[in-house]
Homo-oligomer: A and B are copies of this chain.
């Protein structure tokens, strides 16, 4: 029976699966972009407190876009309109342009007629090029096994997503957990799924928002960070193994903060860049 394995589905793949509902949405506007509805239930287990993680929601909706485009994500932007607890949901996907190499689509995750996350993305792969120059490198970390874990789901604020992830932090970057923030709005570490599932292009969308907010290490009075918008650039498909990641908030001002992310794979290749903008909630 060698080779006749059952299909192996990771927790991430299972919990971001979507089902195309042909005929569910009419084409619209006079211009008429083709539109398709996908059933996209928001599965339990990927929450921070009551609300599903923003990276999980981005990956879920982008999977529907990716299936419609028949291409992997290259650059995806999501705008977050409301907190999303697990439950039934749909994604309406529209193809704005489908070219030979790249396709641009927009989508809205909604429930009970209420939009929750709205997205715009370009899918496909760039033509190869030998032109290369890297001003940056993976963060220097102790080996995975020696790096401290992120808080488990049993600790307040009970982020159940931490049971789905096997992330480890750069030594010292767990200071915010113990009242000893580093004083720099930066968090680095190892990122992996708890079930050792592969991190593909859609997994990178989740990875971009699956670490504790770096502002927690700033020492500033910020206890939660509602994301307005998150953009992820997929730069390569990761080789197997945990990613090394670095997240920083450089500019905290005017009621807003940025968060920039770099994700590197086990072959030292940059696999994704991310940037989000968040509100600074009133204490």
Contact = CB atoms under 8 A, between A and B. Distances in A.
B135 A118 contact: no
A229 B75 contact: yes
Task: Give the most central of A250, A256, A280: most B CB within 10 Å.
Answer: A256
Nearest to A280: B129
Interface in A56-98: 74-75, 77, 79, 81, 92, 96-97
Interface in A195-210: none
> Interface size class for chain A?
35 or more
Contacts of A282: 127, 129
Given A77-B231, A127-B279, A115 B251 contact: no
Given A28-B28, A228-B102, A279 B122 contact: no
A120 B92 contact: no
A236 to B, nearest CB: 5
Copies of the chain in the assembly: 2
A185 B135 contact: yes
Interface stretch (A6-14, A29-37, A148-156, A166-174): A29-37
Task: Give the most central of A33, A221, A231, A258: most B CB within 10 Å.
Answer: A231
Given A96-B108, A275-B231, A255 B129 contact: yes
Contact of A108 (B31, B92, B136, B231): B31
A275 B184 CA distance: 23
A269 B251 CA distance: 11
Contacts of A43: none
A277 interface: yes
A220 interface: yes
Interface string A182-223: 001100000000000000000000000000000000101110
Contacts of A236: 253-254
Contact of A118 (B96, B249, B254): B96
30 contacts: A25-B30, A26-B29, A31-B92, A31-B110, A31-B113, A33-B115, A74-B228, A75-B277, A79-B120, A81-B96, A81-B97, A96-B118, A97-B118, A106-B106, A126-B254, A126-B279, A127-B255, A127-B282, A129-B282, A131-B221, A131-B252, A132-B252, A132-B254, A133-B220, A133-B253, A135-B185, A135-B248, A136-B251, A231-B275, A235-B251
